[in-house]
């Protein structure tokens, strides 16, 4: 049984305001029983362009990537029945291996055969991976991209290929290293598919993050979640974000695909909305319609959300924000402020955005993100700009250091 909780950050608002009121709504998904891990078809698309021959900590980047894939095989993040697809690309793409994860000798031979050279045509690598997944053995599928350089066919990736990914509801996890790759592209692919993005400060972290993400993929038991919002007159939606791990969800006409969710963990979404001014009274803000697939069955729930408008000063004073929802809203604000700072051309604007994000992060007690923001502020102080490396790390950390609120209860266990 999947438990779904829907609640606004505040259910009491001031009546007869001059302007619309911004507000937030939380959607929380939990499952009380650890589900069986499902078999996975994993496609890893690896950049082997000429820049991968460059040195990184005493070895070439290609050698370090080989080590990361070998470690994935040796430490068994996947199970023996899982399928592994290895594709490398430069100007062209090659399917190096497709078969059971258990055939470690063949996988190592494929890894050892990779060579660096040529350009960075990501679309060719993704096309080859999608072709391999067309005949993949398992319904549960995951696509991983690794790159270190400027993508030469980014428009094709963001156009034709991304549309294919969306249509197939296939999530992408992007890994980038260095100062040349297009982190914005990896971030957009992650958001558009409900996947993830990691900036690697060192290639030694590749296998560690990849293993964590594969555990996530193996436990995605709540599949194809869709949210449809029936908005009251004058209410508008601004954005829907997944908080842990962070992603900006894509939608059209108040209908959003929320992707596949872990059955062994809590997943939280924040819906950012605008409410119209209203006189005193109780009004429906929105009716949330959710449906998903769990254990082979389609499930759904529907819940209206009401807001009380009042001019009673005492009632407004007592109407504090819900602590759990507020903490998730603040984590989403850190991501938004970090993104705005990364795009700012005026150092003063960037500094103000980073300071706001830093203050929120400190209040939340998130030391990993606080260190990242401190580095960005130090860059600004010393050079008047944020280095490309710091920008990538900040954006990646803001996505991946989000966490469950201290006010989120643990899942209810079966029979409790």
Evaluate whether residue 416 is within a structural domain. no
**DSSP assignment of 265-297:** S-EEEEEEEEE----SEEEEEEEEEEEEEETTE
Q: Report the chain's mean pLDDT, rounded to a whole number.
A: 92
Which CATH number is 270's domain given? 2.60.40.3670
Mean pLDDT computed over 27-42: 82
What is the spatial distance between Cα 238 and Cα 249, in angstroms, rounded to a whole number? 11
> What's the domain range around 355?
325-400
Q: Which residues contact 161 (CB under 8 A, 6 or more apart)?
A: 123, 126, 127, 130
Give the model confidence (pLDDT) of 242-263 as tens digits.
998 899 998 887 999 999 998 8
Quickly count: other Cβ atoms within 10 Å of residue 34's Cβ: 13
Task: Give the DSSP H/E element, type plus range, for residue 323.
Answer: helix 323-343
What is the spatial distance between Cα 76 and Cα 70, in angstroms, rounded to a whole number? 10
DSSP, collapsed to helix, strand or coil, labels residue 180 as coil
The torsion angles phi and psi of 101, rounded to 5 degrees, stand at -65, -25
Question: Tell me, what DSSP letter sits at residue 37?
Answer: P
Mean pLDDT computed over 316-340: 96
Q: Exposed/middle/buried for 112, CB within 10 Å: 0-12, 13-18, 19+?
A: exposed
Domain closes at, from 320, 336, 352:
320
Give the model confidence (pLDDT) of 392-414 as tens digits.
999 999 999 999 999 999 887 65
- Same domain flag for 105 and 138: yes
Residue for token pair 């962070």: 246
Mean pLDDT computed over 165-188: 92
Give the model confidence (pLDDT) of 345-387 as tens digits.
999 999 999 999 999 999 999 999 999 999 999 999 999 888 8
Q: Which of 202, 219, 312 is nearest to 264 (CA)?
A: 219
- Same domain flag for 301 and 275: yes
Domain closes at, from 175, 196, 218:
218
**DSSP assignment of 234-272:** T-EEEEEEETTTTEEPPEETTEEEEEEE-SSS-EEEEEE
- 57 φ/ψ sector (left φ>0, alpha ψ -120 to 50, else beta): left
Q: Contact 50/118 with Cβ under 8 angstroms?
A: yes
Q: Contact 267/261 with Cβ under 8 angstroms?
A: yes
- Same domain flag for 213 and 66: yes
Evaluate whether residue 407 is within a structural domain. no
């Amino acid at each position: 049984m999947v438990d779904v909780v829907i609640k606004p950050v505040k259910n009491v608002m001031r009546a007869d305001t001059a302007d619309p009121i911004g507000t937030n709504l939380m959607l929380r998904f939990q499952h009380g029983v650890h589900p069986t891990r499902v078999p996975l078809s994993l496609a890893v698309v690896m950049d082997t362009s000429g820049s991968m021959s460059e040195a990184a900590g005493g070895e070439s980047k290609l050698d370090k990537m080989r080590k990361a894939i070998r470690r994935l095989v040796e430490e068994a993040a996947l199970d023996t029945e899982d399928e592994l697809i290895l594709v490398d690309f430069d100007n062209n793409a090659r399917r190096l291996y497709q078969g059971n994860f258990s055939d470690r000798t063949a996988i190592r031979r494929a890894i050892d055969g990779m060579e660096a050279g040529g350009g960075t045509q990501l679309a060719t690598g993704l096309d080859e991976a999608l072709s391999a997944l067309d005949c993949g053995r398992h319904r549960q599928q995951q696509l991983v991209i690794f790159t270190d350089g400027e993508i030469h066919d980014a428009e094709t990736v963001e156009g034709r290929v991304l549309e294919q990914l969306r249509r197939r509801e296939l999530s992408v996890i992007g890994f980038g290293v260095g100062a040349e790759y297009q982190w914005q592209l990896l971030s957009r692919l992650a958001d558009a598919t409900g996947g993830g993005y990691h900036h690697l400060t060192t290639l030694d972290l590749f296998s560690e993050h990849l293993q964590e993400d594969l555990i996530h993929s193996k436990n995605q038991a709540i599949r194809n979640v869709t949210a449809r919002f029936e908005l009251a007159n004058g209410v508008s939606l601004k954005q829907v974000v997944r908080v842990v791990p962070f992603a900006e969800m894509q939608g059209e006409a108040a209908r959003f695909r929320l992707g596949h969710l872990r059955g062994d963990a809590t997943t939280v979404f924040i819906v950012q909305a605008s409410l119209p001014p209203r006189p005193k009274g109780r009004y429906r803000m929105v009716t949330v319609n959710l449906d998903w697939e769990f254990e082979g069955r389609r499930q759904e729930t529907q819940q209206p959300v009401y807001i009380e408008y009042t001019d009673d000063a005492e009632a407004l004073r007592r109407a504090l924000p819900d602590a759990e929802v507020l903490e998730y809203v603040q984590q989403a604000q850190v991501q938004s402020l970090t993104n705005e700072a990364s795009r700012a051309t005026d150092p003063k604007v960037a500094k103000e955005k980073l300071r706001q994000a830093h203050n929120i992060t400190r209040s939340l007690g998130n030391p990993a993100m606080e260190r990242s923001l401190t580095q960005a502020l130090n860059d600004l102080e010393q050079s008047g700009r944020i280095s490309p490396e710091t920008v990538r790390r900040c954006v990646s950390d803001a996505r991946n250091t989000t966490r469950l609120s201290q006010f989120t209860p643990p899942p209810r266990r079966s029979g409790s």
